Chains A and B, each alone.
Chain A
Amino acid sequence: MAYLTDRKRAQGTGSGRQGTMHHWQMLVSSILLVVLVPLFVLTFGIGLGGTYEETLAYFSRPFPAIVTALCLIVGILHFKREAEEAIEDYMHGVAERLTFIAVGALAYTLIAVALFALIKIAL
C-alpha cells in the first residue's frame, strides 16, 4: 500500500474510468465547432428549400458536399462525446455501459448514412 503512487491511485477512478483524452478531444472539437457550425448552418440552410433537382445539383457541387460531410462527421462525434459525458455522470452499471454503446452505435450509423447519401448525390 505504501508503495502505491498518487498516479496509480487516481488511474481509472473517474466517472468515465479513463484519463484526460476525452477532455482534450472536447477542447479540440469545441474549437473546430466555432468555425464549422456557422459554415454548416449557412451551407445547409441555402441547400434547404429548393426543388428535388435543385437540391441534387447543389449537393453535387464540391463545396457544399465537402462542408456538409466535414461538419456532420466532426459535429456528430462531438455530440457523441457530449452525450457520453452525461451518461457517465448520471447512469451506472449495466445500464450505463449499454446506453454508452447505443449512443456510439447511433453516432457511427448517422455518419455512415450521411456519407453514403452525400456520395450517392455527388456521383
Chain B
Amino acid sequence: MADVNRGNRPLSPHLQIYRPQMTSMSSIMVRITGIACLVLSVIVVAWLLAASTSEAAFDAWNGLLRSWFGKLVMFGATWAVFYHMLGRLRHVIWDFGYALDVETSEKMGMGMFIGATVLAVVAVLVV
C-alpha cells in the first residue's frame, strides 16, 4: 500500500498519436470554448464600458459589433458559450455517476454539437 509503483505504470497515449474520437474531440472542444469565452467576454465588458463612457465611444464599439464581422463573432460566441454549457452539463452528469459508458458519452457528445447549434440559431431568431 505505502510503496506505490512509480515506474512501471500503463501510460495513456500521447495526444498527437491518439486517434480522434467523438468523446475526446467533444471534450477538447469544451476546454477550447471555455478559454474562448474568457477572451470573448472582453468584447462584452468593453461594450458595457463604452456605453457607460460616452455616446461617441458607444457608437464606435457598437458599430464594430453590429458590422457583419461583429455579428459573425457574436454568433460564434453564442455557439461557444452554449456548447461549453452543455459540455459542462455532461461533466455534471458524469460526476454524479450516470452515463459513464462510451456509447452514451458519444451520444451526449453529438447532442452537444447539435444542441449548441440549435440553441445558437434559436437565440439569433428570438433576439
Contacts and interface: CB of A to CB of B under 8 A. Distances in A.
9 contacts: A34-B85, A42-B123, A45-B78, A45-B127, A52-B58, A52-B62, A75-B41, A82-B84, A117-B51
Interface of B: 1-2, 4, 31, 34-35, 37-38, 41-42, 44-45, 47-49, 51-52, 55, 58-59, 62, 65-66, 74, 78, 81-82, 84-85, 88-89, 91-92, 95, 119, 123, 126-127
B52 A30 contact: no
Given A37-B82, A72-B45, A106-B38, 9 more contacts: A6-B2, A27-B95, A41-B81, A48-B127, A52-B51, A79-B38, A113-B48, A117-B48, A121-B48
A1 B34 CA distance: 42
Contacts, number: 114
Interface string A68-109: 100010011011101101100000000000000001001100
Given A55-B58, A117-B48, A82 B127 contact: no
Nearest to B50: A117
Chain A binding surface, main DSSP class: helix
Contacts of B66: 48-49
A116 B46 CA distance: 11
B41 A30 contact: no
Contacts of A114: 44-45, 48-49
